[in-house]
């Protein structure tokens, strides 16, 4: 299972997968809010054993599952 699939599984486990694709705008679609974003960051750090820098936690970086996967990959390389 690749990074994007694991992130999609996280959304599915929270009941947020209706018509969700890798390029779906998570904010416009109502899939993510500030509290859910915090939960997402914790999930990503624990699952992928990374530390996401504060400067990486932006609306742009968390807009789509593809964007989130890119943050994870950059964080892996930075370690």
**Architecture in CATH of 3-14+21-78:** Orthogonal Bundle (1.10)
pLDDT attached to residue 16: 78
- Predicted TM-score (pTM) of this structure: 0.92
Distances (CA, A) of 26 to 22, 49, 59, 64: 10, 23, 10, 6
pLDDT attached to residue 17: 76
- Model pLDDT for residues 34-79, shown as the tens digit of each residue: 888 889 999 999 999 999 999 999 999 999 999 999 999 999 998 7
pLDDT attached to residue 61: 95
Domain chopping of the chain, boundaries:
3-14+21-78
- Model pLDDT for residues 18-33, shown as the tens digit of each residue: 789 999 999 999 998 8
């Amino acid at each position: 299972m690749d990074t994007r699939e694991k992130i999609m599984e996280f959304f599915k486990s929270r009941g947020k997968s209706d018509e969700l694709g890798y390029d779906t705008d998570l904010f416009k679609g109502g899939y993510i809010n500030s509290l859910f974003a915090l939960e997402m960051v914790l999930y990503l750090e624990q699952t992928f054993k990374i530390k996401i820098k504060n400067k990486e936690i932006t609306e742009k970086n968390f807009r789509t599952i593809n964007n989130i996967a890119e943050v994870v990959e950059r964080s892996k390389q930075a370690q």
